[in-house]
């Protein structure tokens, strides 16, 4: 999720009963815990950000380290002097207010670093979702206006979040099943099926069926419109594989991208290879996120690698 939503979730967690019991330190622990994992943006630059962002600070091991440091840092800020309590509140916010909320979207997190580079993603919500952000904001505003009802408003915000995510999980499961039926009807061999959230539209899913050579794309709507799958050639040619072997940037990109495609053209004798991850569509009139351009000389050497050109 975006940093604002993480911060609001941390604030609503504190308001749901922790602040009333442990005061300002609980608020600082939970807001800080919900936001601090994104500190990795300060050392995540260029194509290498695909690995370093949502890396160790978004892992279970990293969560323990951040919670320990944050709990100790908050000891001077109030009467509560029990480090395990402050670290525990911080850890709760890190796990529930940040890692879990990043896990349910389609970007993925390296939850098991340093033991595994796997990037699990539950594909339930897009990175931005007003139906999560606005209820949390409303709970905090309402708690400021009606302090006596603050805890109930915070709890209500999380009750809504739970209902919303369960509804999305059910809809997601139905979308995957519908994609399998559509693939069978069109004679597409379904090696892997994914349904991804669409930007700012929780009622439809972007479907992907992988048959080994193509990604078959289709939009799934709960309104019952038929799913029509259309093929997109994968970035899986032998030439692309050879290029990846020569370029660590391409290797990293193909590790990160779930649905990589490749468009090639020639300019001035140089080959221009544009990689795109279909997971990230254009948004707000901007080109899709996480594009990689590789410029190859006439002799076959990699001259330049550009991220999001």
Indicate whether 132 belongs to any domain: no
Residue 164 lies in a domain: no
Q: What residues are paired with 219 via a beta bridge?
A: 206
Q: Which two tokens stand for residue 117?
A: 């580079």
The b/e string for 228-264 (b: 16+ C-beta within 10 A; e otherwise) is ebeeeebbeeeebeebbeebebbebbbebbbbbbbee
**Residue range(s) defining the domain that contains residue 222:** 176-233
Q: Does residue 129 belong to any structural domain of this protein?
A: no
8 and 94 within one domain: yes
- Alpha-carbon distance of 52 to 44, in angstroms, equals 6
Give the other-Cβ count within 10 Å of 24's Cβ.
Answer: 14
Asked if residue 162 belongs to a domain, the reply is: no
Q: Is residue 295 part of a domain?
A: yes
* Tens digit of pLDDT at every position of the chain (309 positions): 999 999 999 999 999 999 999 999 999 999 999 999 999 999 999 999 999 999 999 999 999 999 999 999 999 999 999 999 999 999 999 999 999 999 999 999 999 999 999 999 999 999 999 999 999 999 999 999 999 999 999 999 999 999 999 999 999 999 999 999 999 999 999 999 999 999 888 989 999 999 988 999 999 987 778 899 999 988 766 666 677 667 899 999 999 999 999 888 888 888 898 999 999 887 766 777 789 999 988 888 888 999 988
Kindly report whether the global pTM for this prediction surpasses the value 0.85.
yes
């Amino acid at each position: 999720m975006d940093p604002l939503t993480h911060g609001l979730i941390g604030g609503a967690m504190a308001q749901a009963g922790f602040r009333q019991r442990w005061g300002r330190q609980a608020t600082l622990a939970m807001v800080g815990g919900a936001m601090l994992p994104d500190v990795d943006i300060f050392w995540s630059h260029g194509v290498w950000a695909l690995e370093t962002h949502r890396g160790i600070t978004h892992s279970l091991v990293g969560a323990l380290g951040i919670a320990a440091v944050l709990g100790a840092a908050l000891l001077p800020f109030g009467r509560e002097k029990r480090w395990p309590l402050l670290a525990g509140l911080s850890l709760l916010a890190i796990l529930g207010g940040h890692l879990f909320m990043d896990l349910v979207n389609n970007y993925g997190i390296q939850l098991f670093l340093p033991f595994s580079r796997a990037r699990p993603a539950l594909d339930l919500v897009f990175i931005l979702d007003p139906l999560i952000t606005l209820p949390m904001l409303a709970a905090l505003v309402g708690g400021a206006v009606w302090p006596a009802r603050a805890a109930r408003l915070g709890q209500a915000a999380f009750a809504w979040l739970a209902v919303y995510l369960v509804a999305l999980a059910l809809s997601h499961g139905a979308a995957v099943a519908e994609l399998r039926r559509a693939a069978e009807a069109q004679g597409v061999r379904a090696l892997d099926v994914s349904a991804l959230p669409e930007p700012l539209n929780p009622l439809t899913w972007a479907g992907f069926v992988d048959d080994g050579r193509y990604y078959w794309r289709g939009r799934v709507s709960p309104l019952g419109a038929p799913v029509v799958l259309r093929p997109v050639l994968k970035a899986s040619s032998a030439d692309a594989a050879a290029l990846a072997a020569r370029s660590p940037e391409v290797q990293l990109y193909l590790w990160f991208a779930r649905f990589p495609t490749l468009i090639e053209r020639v300019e001035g004798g140089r080959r221009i290879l544009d990689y795109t991850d279909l997971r990230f569509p254009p948004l707000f009139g901007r080109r899709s996120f996480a594009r990689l351009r590789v410029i190859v000389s006439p002799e076959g050497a990699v001259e330049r690698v550009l991220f999001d050109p």
